[in-house]
């Protein structure tokens, strides 16, 4: 469903991601962890088509993301770490816009929008302009937009930023339900407890390289720390450095999953 084949991304002489090889099957809930500057967001932007790999290839559902970004985008729902909305649209207008961009017919649009409004409890502010929304409200709306077309792959960068405890629980339940239904869920997060709770497999990225890939129990076994929670395991695994400073991040609206590839600096 998702495949990275020896993927490297550089910015000038700085290596952000080095030789990443990774395969995710359908129905897996996968968490990528790492210190700041480890290369997580660069990895995600290559996955959704916002950056091209310097070398190597990324596939989604058998489609090369760099060569066929529009086809790959049809399979992907993307939730960035910062929600980007059109301030002068209401939540309803925004979801209508995204649904039409996804090619959903009127009946399907109405049903899917109603479904996501109920799921993410958007009704209380759905007809207000998004410029009036709090960060958490925006994040819930972006979650809803990413799921309208029932993507085969869901990609999330720091999914719980700005969410209150009730919304965090809801988001966890939605991610687990989507994975059980066959969606491949790829998320990056700094919230180790969430990764420990819901992820099927973990990847620890440090300075662009994979330090560990596997289950929590395998990590406990590898570090000879059985029954230890993820936090001390993560700190031990990344103890040799705090990660390099990452490249300047691209920003801008990402409403419908992936976009045309854009090159980063360098």
Give the chain's residues under pLDDT 50: 241-266
Q: How far apart are CA 199 and CA 28, in angstroms?
A: 8
Q: How far apart are CA 168 and CA 197, in angstroms?
A: 12
Q: Which long-range contacts (CB under 8 A, 24 or more apart) does 157-160 make?
A: 157/40, 157/41, 157/44, 157/79, 157/80, 157/81, 157/187, 157/188, 158/81, 158/188, 158/189, 158/190, 159/79, 159/187, 159/189, 160/189, 160/191, 160/194
In a domain, residue 87? The reply is no
In a domain, residue 20? The reply is yes
In a domain, residue 141? The reply is no
In a domain, residue 98? The reply is no
Give the pLDDT confidence score for residue 82 in this predicted structure. Answer: 85
In a domain, residue 61? The reply is yes
In a domain, residue 36? The reply is yes
* Maximum CA extent, the chain: 56
Give the pLDDT confidence score for residue 266 in this predicted structure. Answer: 35
Give the pLDDT confidence score for residue 204 in this predicted structure. Answer: 96
In a domain, residue 205? The reply is yes
In a domain, residue 157? The reply is yes
* CATH number of the domain that residue 233 is part of: 3.40.50.300
Structural Rg of the chain based on CA atoms: 18
Give the pLDDT confidence score for residue 254 in this predicted structure. Answer: 35
Q: How far apart are CA 209 and CA 15, in angstroms?
A: 10
The domain of 177 spans 2-82+151-237
Give the pLDDT confidence score for residue 253 in this predicted structure. Answer: 36
Give the pLDDT confidence score for residue 240 in this predicted structure. Answer: 66
Chain mean position to CA 83 = 12
In the chain, the number of structural domains is 1
**Secondary structure class of 138 (helix, strand, coil):** helix
Give the pLDDT confidence score for residue 251 in this predicted structure. Answer: 34
- Name the burial class of residue 201, with classes exposed (0-12), middle (13-18) and buried (19+) by CB atoms within 10 angstroms of its CB: middle
């Amino acid at each position: 469903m998702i495949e990275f084949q020896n993927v490297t991304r550089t910015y000038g002489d700085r290596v952000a991601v080095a030789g990443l090889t990774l395969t995710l099957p359908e129905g897996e809930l996968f968490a990528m962890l790492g210190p700041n500057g480890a290369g997580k967001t660069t990895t995600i932007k290559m996955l959704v088509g916002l950056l091209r790999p310097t070398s190597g290839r990324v596939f989604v559902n058998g489609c090369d993301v760099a060569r066929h970004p529009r086809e790959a985008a049809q399979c992907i729902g993307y939730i960035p770490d910062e929600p980007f909305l059109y301030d002068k649209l209401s939540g309803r207008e925004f979801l209508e816009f995204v649904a039409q961009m996804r090619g959903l017919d009127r009946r399907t649009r109405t049903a899917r929008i109603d479904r996501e409004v109920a799921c993410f409890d958007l009704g209380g502010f759905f007809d207000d302009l998004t410029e009036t929304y709090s960060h958490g409200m925006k994040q819930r709306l972006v979650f809803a937009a990413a799921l309208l077309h029932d993507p085969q792959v869901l990609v999330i960068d720091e999914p719980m930023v700005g969410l209150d405890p009730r919304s965090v629980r809801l988001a966890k339940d939605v991610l687990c339900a989507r994975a059980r239904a066959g969606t491949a869920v790829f998320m990056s997060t700094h919230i180790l407890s969430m990764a420990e709770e819901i992820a099927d497999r973990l990847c620890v990225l440090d300075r662009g390289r994979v330090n560990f890939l596997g289950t929590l129990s395998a990590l406990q076994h590898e570090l000879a720390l059985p029954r230890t929670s993820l936090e001390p395991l993560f700190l031990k695994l990344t103890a040799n450095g705090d990660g390099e400073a990452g490249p300047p991040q691209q920003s801008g609206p990402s409403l419908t999953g992936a976009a045309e590839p854009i090159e980063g600096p360098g």
